[in-house]
Amino acid sequence: MATIDRVLQRIDDGLEDSLSRLFDLLRIRSISTDPAFAGDCRNAAEWLAGELSGIGIPSEVRNTTGHPMVVGHAANGQAGPHALFYGHYDVQPVDPLDLWDADPFDPRIVTRDDGSRMIVARGACDDKGQLMTFVEAARAWMAENGALPLPISVLIEGEEESGSPSLEAFLTDNREELSVDFALICDTGMWDRNTPAITTMLRGMVSEEIVITAADKDLHSGLFGGAARNPNRVLARIIADLHDADGRIMVPGFYDGVAEMPADITAMWSELGFDEKAFLGGVGLSEPAGEAGRSVLEQIWTRPTCDVNGMSGGYTGEGFKTVIPSQASAKISFRLVGEQDPVAIRDSFRDFVSARVPADCAVAFTGFGCNPAVQLPMDSDTLRKGRAALTDEWGRPAAIIGIGGSIPIAGDFKTMLGMDSLMIGFGLDDDQIHSPNEKYDLQSFHKGIRSWARVLDQLAR
């Protein structure tokens, strides 16, 4: 019997124990954003360091200015590439509590009408359930084989749900220790319940607030209307100028670094059976509104965007007030893809706006973020091996997918530590992460553990 088959058998036999350990972790109220739960966060870190050390990945709790990190290494001179596994032990707050069917920190199995079984608790999926698929896979490898098939380091964060305020400094301070060949991240989803996926594209983002100021006070439109500059109108004109009639973004140089996807990838996407009408219909829309001639998946995974997330000026309460406001403001964000340079785009955007600010108006900019897109090379060996492992486990090809949003850690690993990330996860669209009654499919947990065992096996070849 091949080693991997024995490891998989051990995983199957030990599933109840794996579940029991996950439940122990789920009972810890590690809500990172609320200082009242700081002790719980530390407890979660210590529990994880203990588990990892216990299975043969010596780990310790490292203090930060916020919640601690867990760092471990099992890199005892094996051959093969060295991988850093990342997950996070902190969870979202649970309010509104009255929408939960039971205590969010008292995990339980709920069996659905179709016989499928769900782990229900805060963090069941995001990210305790997900990170434990890796830990349990490593445990089975260690137990069966006395060692992992390749050098592994582990970094478990405790502030992912509250903006990771300590992460950048921690990566900087421990750059040498944490810079290995690539990262493994378990915080993403499957294509559907039976189709595994590897997330290879994350859009980056430039976020800017602009404030246009005209007069130094709000004016009465009866007295000044017709003579005074109206910043609402100035702002609307700038926003309107940002796109042409075909939906292309008019900021100079914006599309530098945006490449077309390889034909085999877009062909694969068209075979995934993505239901555009259902996706848009679910929120009351019927037509993709983005760049003409692109599928919805292309629009949200592979194309950069410009959206106005907020816009405000003048009187916006009940009724009517004939004011010419002094100021108008907008929060504008750009989702980036491929090799787009966020700093160049921010600068070009600011120039674009400034050039449209007329006499007697001033504009002020506040940056809220400037992060590049993350893209795992399509010809990467790591990607090929990960895909093979998942395809073996699930009996169908793993989808190569994107996420329209960002996973900041993948960008940080790339820009700060020079590492690509292999993002594999087993979350499903209906897992209700961040919401009441968060769940994780027991199949995701079980086959997720098996998947990681196969991924480790593949990566070591």
Q: Cβ(155)–Cβ(178) under 8 Å?
A: yes
Name the nearest CA neighbour of 430 among 282, 288, 302, 286: 282
Q: Which of 32, 133, 153, 230 is the binder for a copy of itself (CB under 8 A)?
A: 230
Owner of token pair 């060295």: 82
What's phi and psi for 156, nearest 5 deg?
Answer: -115, 120
Paired residues of 108 in beta bridges: 120
- Under the binding rule (CB under 8 A), the answer on residue 272 touching a copy of itself is no
Residue 417 Cβ vs a copy of itself, minimum distance, rounded to whole Å: 23
Q: Which stretch binds a copy of itself (CB under 8 A): 127-135, 264-272, 312-320, 442-450?
A: 312-320
Residue 367 Cβ vs a copy of itself, minimum distance, rounded to whole Å: 10
Q: Cβ(85)–Cβ(155) under 8 Å?
A: yes
Residue 26 CA from chain centroid, whole number: 21
- Under the binding rule (CB under 8 A), the answer on residue 277 touching a copy of itself is no
- Under the binding rule (CB under 8 A), the answer on residue 53 touching a copy of itself is no
Q: Which of 50, 54, 165, 358 is the binder for a copy of itself (CB under 8 A)?
A: 358
Site for a copy of itself in 82-121 (CB under 8 A): none
The smaller minimum CB distance to a copy of itself, of residues 151 and 231, is found at 231
Residue 36 Cβ vs a copy of itself, minimum distance, rounded to whole Å: 22
- Under the binding rule (CB under 8 A), the answer on residue 296 touching a copy of itself is yes
Give the N- to C-terminal CA distance of the chain in Å, as an integer: 17
What's phi and psi for 260, nearest 5 deg?
Answer: -80, 150
458: phi > 0 → left, psi -120 to 50 → alpha, else beta; which?
A: alpha
Q: Which stretch binds a copy of itself (CB under 8 A): 47-55, 144-152, 226-234, 436-444?
A: 226-234
- Under the binding rule (CB under 8 A), the answer on residue 283 touching a copy of itself is yes
What number of chain residues touch a copy of itself (CB under 8 A)? 79
Q: Which of 83, 167, 328, 363 is the binder for a copy of itself (CB under 8 A)?
A: 328
Helix axes of 15-26 and 38-55: crossing angle, nearest 10 degrees: 150
Residue 163 Cβ vs a copy of itself, minimum distance, rounded to whole Å: 10
Site for a copy of itself in 383-442 (CB under 8 A): 403-406
- How, if at all, do strands 83-88 and 152-157 pair? parallel
- Under the binding rule (CB under 8 A), the answer on residue 307 touching a copy of itself is yes
